[in-house]
Amino acid sequence: MKPEYRDCYLPFLQPGERLIIATDHFANTALPAVPAALRTPQPRPAPSPLEERVRGVLGSALGAVARPLGAVSNNRLVNNPLTRAAGRAGDRVEQVTDTLDHAADRAVEKAIWGTVMDGGWHSIAGRFLVDLTNAGGTPRRQAMTDRRLILLVDRNTSWRNTTPQWDLGVAVPRTHITHVTAHPKAVGGRGRFDVGFTDGSWIALGSAVRKHMEAFVAACGQGA
């Protein structure tokens, strides 16, 4: 187990909990999008002092350009109800286009990987994905202990300091897990494994490196 995978988990272990295996986590974009009704609004991260200074400089420059344009925006053509309606329609078209793009990406991944989850949003697999999505950040680490399956997310959004800011993404008791099995498909060397739960639901997880996935699956079997 590499220190870069092991050490980030130490602050999140319960007293007496034993870490069996920790690896990288590769997010599977074929997983379904969590419905908006189940999503928790995510707060915008506070900008760093440097980012605030950069935005201030850019804001001043853009403001100088925007002032003469503001006079134009007050004319009758821009404020015409028909013009505003066209603008709103354009916004809706853009939103629909983005949704279709995301759906197309998931369709491609699903064609490659096959089915990646089974169970409704209130199943163990569904709640797993909901909780992970609502945790925010980017899932980058996965581990199995003698008690839980745990995914960590990286909350760092700084483009200047790339040091990870680890936080708990989602955790599931091992008593809720029936099996962890390797999936035969491999794309670009990546590895997928499926985690089954006691209610019959399951979800596909993965590593960017197939041998990491194989080690994870093997360790889960040995540490059961």
Q: What is the pLDDT of residues 10-31, one digit of tens each?
A: 999 999 999 999 999 998 888 9
3-state class (DSSP) for residue 37: helix
Q: How many CB atoms lie within 10 A of CB 151?
A: 21
Q: What is the pLDDT of residues 56-107, one digit of tens each?
A: 766 665 566 555 545 544 555 445 665 555 555 555 554 454 445 445 545 5
Q: What percent of the chain clears pLDDT 70, i.e. is strictly above it? A: 65
- Average pLDDT on 154-176 reads 93
- The number of angstroms, rounded, from the C-alpha of 121 to the middle of its chain's C-alpha atoms is 17
Residue whose structure tokens are 């130490």:
10
Residue 148 contacts by C-beta under 8 Å, 6 or more apart in sequence? 17, 171, 172, 173, 174
Separation in Å, CA 187 to CA 109, 142, 190, 193, 215: 10, 19, 5, 13, 17
Q: What is the pLDDT of residues 99-138, one digit of tens each?
A: 454 455 455 555 555 789 999 999 999 999 999 999 999 9
β-pair partners for 173: 148
Q: Quick one: pLDDT at residue 62?
A: 57
What is the C-alpha to C-alpha distance for residues 119 and 133, in angstroms, rounded to an integer? 17
- Average pLDDT on 46-50 reads 58
In degrees and rounded to multiples of 5, residue 36 shows phi and psi of: -55, -35
- Average pLDDT on 217-224 reads 77
Dihedral sign of CA atoms 126, 7, 222, 24 in order: positive
